[in-house]
Amino acid sequence: MSENRPRLLDPHFVSKLARLDLTARLVVEGFLTGLHRSPYHGFSVEFAEHRQYMPGDPLRHLDWKVLAKSDRKYIKQYEEETNLRAMLLVDTSASIGYGSHGITKLDYARQLAAALAYLMLRQNDAVGMFAFASGQGEQIPPRSDDGTRAPAPLVARAPHARRDHELRLVAPLPRGADDPRGLVVILSDLLDEPDRIEQAIHHFRHRKHEVLVFHVLDPQEVSFNFEREAVYVDMESGERVTTRPQELRPDYRARVGEWRDRIRQYCIEKNAGYVP
């Protein structure tokens, strides 16, 4: 990472995380490693099946015999004792680059993703990431054994916000990441049509994933405590509006409150976690 980027995990922060455990409310069957055989697949003892190789998979799990015979790359999968496969969906649309207090929403989402990855890797869970905007993105497949078990390489690859890219929450997940019964963590400002947000959450829950939504908003986006008349620019569309914020503030706060309540209520109905 470049030196001007914020540190994702400083030692003081890690010392606090070390006392915490992340548990999945719906997915986990036999949480403690070794107590029960998991229905999921990873890289453990007993061979289960093959799956197609994806960029980022450890080469040591490549089936070289199959490669020699067919010139096709397949990964050996084994029955595992880890209970969870998690995918962190990090929003990188243009609006996520906004920040009024020295840290952008993307900076905050990246640090939160690093903390979650640290907790889950510490539990031998498989963690991957998909940084997305406009329905497209960059994927790191879920895995639990990366040699160092450190989240920094995982989260450091999340790019900066993409100028002029609108949010399009991806559903379904990228190929190879949509295995049934996993944990999908969404880190986003959710600045899209509520119907599309709800459609994505519905898809993940229909696939039996547990869903956890971190709604990342800047304080000014909630309070709208600007004082001077100014030109306000939409970071995604470029649309400009000149206005006096004092005149808009009451109606703005009411609409934002209704929007957040709608997303929160939909998450409750779908038994998905919602964290503002």
pLDDT of residue 238: 84
Over residues 175-192, the mean pLDDT reads 77
Q: How confident is the model at residue 35 (pLDDT cuts 50, 70, 90)?
A: very low
The answer on pLDDT for 157 being more than 50 is yes
Structural domains for the chain: 11-24+83-275 (3.40.50), 41-79 (no CATH)
Q: How far apart are CA 60 and CA 121, in angstroms?
A: 19
Asked if 226 and 245 count as a contact pair (C-beta separation under 8 A), the reply is yes
Peptide bond before residue 174 is cis, with ω within 30 degrees of 0: no
Q: How far apart are CA 80 and CA 58, in angstroms?
A: 16
Nearest partner of 186 among 262, 72, 275, judged by Cα: 275
Q: What are phi and psi of 43, to 5 degrees?
A: -130, 85
pTM: 0.70
Over residues 61-84, the mean pLDDT reads 72
The answer on pLDDT for 212 being more than 50 is yes
- Listed in sequence order, the DSSP H helices in 25-151 are 64-70, 105-122
The answer on pLDDT for 73 being more than 60 is yes
pLDDT of residue 142: 75
Over residues 229-238, the mean pLDDT reads 86
CA 256 from centroid of its chain's CA atoms: 23
Over residues 132-146, the mean pLDDT reads 67
